[in-house]
Amino acid sequence: MPLLRITNGFDQLADIKLFERASFIHQQMSLYATVFPSPTPSMPLLKTTIDEYQAALTTAGDRGRTLITHKNVLREQLIDLLHNLGYYVLYIAQGDRQIAMQSGFTLAKEPTRRVFAAPANLQLTYTSQIGEMLVRVKAVRGSGSYIYRYTADATQKVESWQNTSCTSAKCKITGLTPGTLYYFCVGLVGSNDQVLYSNVRSKMAV
């Protein structure tokens, strides 16, 4: 289920902007009453609080600390109602962004899923150790990890491949039999554990 998050930032809104946002949400929730049949808090309660808050905005102005305090109390009450209403909307939406947007609440942007290409420039290099091969590819920024695969089977049957995982774009493969031709490829682990593999290259172990 996709994770939805509401990002209206009610606490940071100026008084008039909060009134406008709350009124718009009430309008949308009422318009889509069949989508949101039993909101908590109820629409009548939200409308009453919005109207009282609007009246307090008009009377507060510069007319004294008591009226301003009353306006601020109503502001907090309205924000609390909107927060609770947001929880209800997310519950009803069940991860469906389109449904949640009908409520009038502002949703956080969906994370951009990065698309990776298969590893490129596969290189095989001998090291100073017998039976060891340094395998490397061009590093991919933001990648999770790499899977290094190798086999001595010329037919490259699926079950013949051996795997080694590394977080780097290069990895030393040890325990190879000198004089044996090995086949290598590298897989890049991307989003949702998707793996993209490079082309296969071969080199004889020494």
Q: Are both 17 and 74 inside the same structural domain? A: yes
User: Residue 141's domain spans which residues?
Assistant: 123-204
Q: Domain for residue 112, yes or no?
A: no
User: Comparing 6 with 27, which gets the higher pLDDT?
Assistant: 27
Q: Are residues 152 and 192 in the same domain?
A: yes
Q: How many other β-carbons are positioned within 10 Å of the β-carbon of residue 24?
A: 13
CA distance 119 to 73: 59
What's the confidence (pLDDT) of residue 88? 93
Q: Stretch 51-58: mean pLDDT, rounded?
A: 92
Residue finishing a domain among 66, 101, 136? 101
165 in the same domain as 96 = no
- pLDDT-based confidence at residue 184 (cuts at 50, 70, 90): very high
Looking at the structure, do residues 89 and 56 belong to the same domain, yes or no?
yes
Domain with residue 167: its CATH number is: 2.60.40.10
Whether residues 82 and 154 share a domain: the answer is: no
| 75 has a pLDDT exceeding 80 | yes
How does pLDDT run across 76-91, given as a tens digit for each residue? Answer: 999 999 999 999 999 8
Provide mean pLDDT across the span 42-68: 87
At 109-168, the pLDDT tens digits run 876 666 677 889 999 999 999 999 999 999 887 777 898 999 999 999 988 999 888 888
Q: Is the residue at 26 inside a domain? A: yes
Whether residue 171 sits in one domain with residue 92: no
Concatenating the DSSP letter of every residue in the chain gives: -PPP-B---GGGS-HHHHHHHHHHHHHHHHHTTTTSSS-SS-HHHHHHHHHHHHHHHHHHTTS-HHHHHHHHHHHHHHHHHHHHHHHHHHHHHTT-HHHHHTTT--BPPPPPPPPPPPP---EEEE-SSTT-EEEE----TT--EEEEEEE--TT--GGG-EEEEESSSEEEE--PPTT-EEEEEEEEE-GGG-EEE---EEEE--
Burial class (CB in 10 A: 0-12, 13-18, 19+), 28: middle
Q: In this structure, is residue 142 part of a structural domain?
A: yes
Residue 111 in domain: no
Pull the structure tokens for residue 18.
């909060």
The mean pLDDT of 196-204, rounded to a whole number, is 93
39 pLDDT exceeds 80? yes
* Average pLDDT over the chain, rounded to an integer: 89
Q: How confident is the model at residue 176 (pLDDT cuts 50, 70, 90)?
A: very high
pLDDT confidence of residue 1: 47
The answer for residues whose C-beta is within 8 angstroms of residue 102's C-beta and 6 or more apart is 28, 31, 32, 35, 36
Total structural domains within the chain: 2
Pair (153, 91) in one structural domain: no
pLDDT surpasses 90 at 68: no
Q: Are residues 187 and 128 in the same domain?
A: yes
Predicted confidence at residue 110, as pLDDT, reads: 74
- Domain-located, residue 141: yes
Looking at the fold, whether 97 and 132 belong to one and the same domain comes out as no
